[in-house]
Amino acid sequence: MENNLKEITNSYNINDDFTMFYKGLLECKNVKNITIYKLNINSVIIRLELKINLPSRRSLMEFDIKEFEPIKLLCSTNEIKYKAPLVFSDRNDFPVEKLPHTLAMGLNYSYICLHRGNIDDWYIDHSVEDFVNRIRFWFSDAACNNLIKPGDDFEPMINYTETGNIVYSYNKLTKFIEEYWSNNNEKNGFAYAMCCFNNKEESEHLNINEESFSVQILEVFEKENLTSLLQKLNRERIKNKNVFLGIVGWGRKNSKYNEYFKLINITLEELYEFNKKIGIDLNRALNILKDKKIPNIIALISAINRPSKVIGFEKNIEFINFLFKIKKVNEFNVNKIKEDGKALVVKHLEPLTRNLAANISTLSCKKNPKILFVGAGALGSKIIFHLARNGYTDISVVDNDILVPHNLVRHALFADSISKNKAKEIINKLNNIYIMDKNKNFKYYSESFINFAINTDLSIYDVLIDCSASKSVFSFISEYSKKLPALVIRAELANKGKLGLVLKENINRNLKIDDIQVSLFNYALSNAEVAEWLKNYQKLKENFEGAQFEDITIGMGCNTNTMKISDNIISYHAAIFSSYIKKHITNDIQNGEFLISYFDENNLSENYCKIISLQDFISVNTSENSWTTKIYRKAYERILNELNNSKPNETGGILLGNINKNNKIIYVTDIYIPKDSKYGPYLFTKGSYGTKEYLEHVLKSTGNIINYVGDWHTHPESSTDMSSKDKKSLLELKEFLKEYSYPAHIMIFNEKDISSYVIS
């Protein structure tokens, strides 16, 4: 190559960084005969000779390595400080076909791979002399066959070709070969495959000067089933002209090959010889096809049985992949396949399957549950893609909304999906990601979730994740009386994105998302961030006439351009939510709980994530059958403690919680005992000291959501039936509350029973 290039005689005029590199070479005592040639405006080739440390006893050398090896360095002059030169042997007879970590790049030069990782990352931390010595050590190791260290796996052949790639599952193909060996006395053999180009018309694919191509193996057939394959191929080619045949070949199981092979610019005749050397009868495989009507392009996957496990794979089989054209000729009324064509070496790409995605994502869980997503907006779309890319490939999405331009600011989809259904587009993208995974199960439903749920058995799913930010969906799930998936989760954002919230029902659904919602509201009494959200919501309600406190919605929709929240905030919460969901899919955590993810982009040091595990609510039928009281178990345990500490006297106080008027549920989350109350064995008189101040604190902290919901007292020595005084107190309470349209409510407790009395 340098014969046609101009030698640079003044190397110091290129630039300062190259001058430093050049001086470094001159200072290396093991470097001599340096010459520099201009390749193009930003690249030069340096030729030099490098002294190699060889064994004193040359008989220990397994390969022909010279004491002074001629080397070529391909350097980027602009990047020489940051980018390592590419290293090539400058010998025509360099034993490239016998050595690992090397590759024939042309007829007269061989690439030397110095580092299995990114050589530039190593280079930036080392001197020019270190770089030169690394090359010298490589040749010293090559001379003694130490490029693969004892105990290492087998180093596969390097393939830097950019002509194209072929996509198939390594494990499936090795399993096919191993089963053949098992059933055929470990003999050599071959099979046929149906292949398909992933993009352009097949006539363009062998032009290596054009854009590269991609091929995938659709299915492998035993050679005895060639007729079935050809029938299927002909049917497929009616719809898709890019479908063609492939051959998979392998040698005997007990034949092991250490050699590396020079496969650059290989002819069909050389391809036959290569396959013959590794025990594959390519001639026979092609001769069977000579009278068949098939496309003139053939993919070939040649299996080489290595002495040990191949690096990066689970078996000792290495595959070399080729693509070539065949030309049939008729000589003396006999069809033959001409052998004067060329073959391209193409890279293998492993198809993305659930197992590969899970392995890359360090997902140890082997479960692949059926997941139903409700809502494919900004938050939902990101969580869906997070879980799918982690290896969850059984996902259904319900959403009847379309993508509009402003959604692109924070949605996982891109502009090619505008005006299309979000759920459908997400599922299309997931199917493309896992295009070769036959076990995937991605589905979409472009309808409202409520309509979908009415007509669907939701119990067929293992996980239900609601990301809809819809109050109607929230209520529907809360009230759903049929069997739901074992894991029910609601995920959403609140307070302008500062709060990410996840509500998770317990396994038996005696702690539903509406129950958890009330527990979350009550948590504002001990959490400043939840309190801030509820206070802000209260201010918002005050600015809109007629708003009621039960109108509060956990979360907010992002489907309008008036919602001000950035993509990075949604992505932050989505990443946390996805990790949380993965954990619960893996571990089957049965209790109900909620998660708070707090993010303030103006004060990053204060951000946190917290999970609050919950007890259940005890449901109590009331005297007015249309109402139900639900008392949080922790509040009930506190009442029992007060009862036992006070008996034989009665004790009591006020009930705190929330009243859901639509569903007629009185939630009790806590109690308060006025300090000036009067106690007796058969009489309790509730005091008032501190009550007003405490209620004001509760109302302020929770945005008026947690409020007074009734009175309570104990009957430690009798039943929980109402006394005449209790009945009078309930009527007085009803009269007091008549302006507020809330029910009068008194609860009575003894050690065994709970009674709830309501007048609405």
- Give me the chain's average pLDDT, please: 89
Residue 689 belongs to some domain of the structure: yes
Q: Are 732 and 630 contained in the same domain?
A: yes
The domain that holds 50 is classified in CATH as 3.10.110
Tell me the mean pLDDT in the region 665-672. 97
Tokens of 125: 């931390």
Residues 388 and 306 in one domain: no
416 and 297 in one domain? no
Model pLDDT, residue 737: 85
Residue 246 lies in a domain: yes
Same domain, 248 and 129: no
Residue 609: give its domain's CATH number. 3.40.50.720
Dihedral class, residue 694 (left if φ above 0, else alpha if ψ from -120 to 50, else beta): alpha
Helix (H) or strand (E) holding 578: helix 567-587
In a domain, 288, yes or no: yes
Q: Phi/psi of residue 672, each to 5°?
A: -140, 135
Closest CA to 465 of 384, 365, 571, 579: 384
> Cα separation of 115 and 354, whole Å?
31
pLDDT in tens, 345-388: 899 988 889 999 999 998 887 889 999 999 999 999 999 999 99
**Which range is least confidently modeled, 275-284, 300-309, 450-459, 533-542?**
533-542
283-335 per-position pLDDT tens digit: 999 989 888 888 888 999 999 999 999 998 989 999 999 999 887 766 666 66
Q: What percent of the chain has pLDDT over 90?
A: 68
Q: In this structure, are 608 and 623 located in the same domain? A: no
The DSSP output letter for 99 is -
* 190 shares a domain with 131: no
Residues 738 and 609 in one domain: no
236-245, 480-489, 742-751: which has the minimum mean pLDDT?
A: 236-245
Return d(Cα 278, Cα 304) in angstroms, integer. 6
Residue 331: its pLDDT value, please?
A: 64
CB-CB contact of 505 with 516 (8 Å)? yes
- Rounded Cα–Cα distance for residues 90 and 99 (Å): 16
The CATH number given to whatever domain includes residue 750 is 3.40.140.10
Mean pLDDT lowest among 36-40, 322-326, 607-611: 322-326
Q: Is 505 helix (H, G, I), strand (E, B) or coil?
A: coil
3-state secondary structure of 609: strand
Q: Please check whether residues 451 and 413 belong to one and the same domain.
A: yes
DSSP letter string, 701-745: HTTT-SEEEEEEEE-TTS-SPPPHHHHHHHHHHHHHHTTTT--EE
Q: Is residue 154 part of a domain?
A: no
Note the pLDDT of residue 155. 87
pLDDT at 590 over 90: no
Do residue 576 and residue 505 come from a single domain? yes
- In this predicted structure, what is the pLDDT of residue 523? 97
Specify if 101 maps to a domain. yes
Write down the pLDDT at residue 59: 62
Backbone angles phi, psi at 358, to 5 degrees: -65, -40
Is 343 in the same domain as 367? no
For the ranges 234-238, 259-263, 403-407, 562-566, the lowest mean pLDDT is seen at 562-566
pLDDT beyond 80 at 469: yes
256 and 194 within one domain: yes
Domain final position from 300, 320, 351: 351
In a domain, 343, yes or no: yes
CATH of residue 288's domain is: 3.40.140
φ, ψ at 697 (rounded to 5°) = -65, -45
Identify which of 161, 141, 158, 160 has the alpha carbon closest to the alpha carbon of residue 52. Answer: 141
In angstroms, the first-to-last Cα distance of the chain is 97
Confidence of residue 404 (pLDDT cuts 50, 70, 90): very high
Torsion angle in degrees (nearest 10) through CA of 172, 177, 179, 184: 170
Q: What is the pLDDT of residues 103-142, one digit of tens each?
A: 877 656 789 999 878 999 999 999 999 999 999 999 999 8
Q: Is the domain of 500 the same as that of 537?
A: yes
DSSP 157: P
What SS3 state is found at 394?
strand
CA dist 216 and 435 (Å) reads: 10
Residue after which a domain boundary falls, among 331, 351, 371: 351
What are phi and psi for residue 644, nearest 5 degrees? -70, -35
DSSP 3-state assignment of 101?
coil
Tell me what pLDDT residue 130 has.
96
pLDDT over 90 at 592, yes or no: yes
In the chain, the amino acid numbered 673 is I
Least confident of 22-26, 287-291, 313-317, 546-550: 546-550
Within a domain: residue 159? no
Structural domains of the chain, count: 4
Side-chain-facing half-sphere of 88: CA atoms under 13 Å: 20
Q: Which two tokens stand for residue 719?
A: 């039943």
pLDDT band (50, 70, 90) for residue 9: confident
Among 574, 591, 613, the domain boundary falls at: 613
302, 301, 295, 347: which is closest to 326 by C-alpha?
295
Confidence of residue 559 (pLDDT cuts 50, 70, 90): low
Q: Identify whether 713 is part of a domain.
A: yes
Question: 3-state class of 345 per DSSP?
Answer: strand
Q: What is the pLDDT of residue 394?
A: 98
| Domain of residue 597, residue span | 357-613
- Give me the residues paired with residue 398 across strands: 374, 445
Residues above pLDDT 70, as percent of the chain:
92
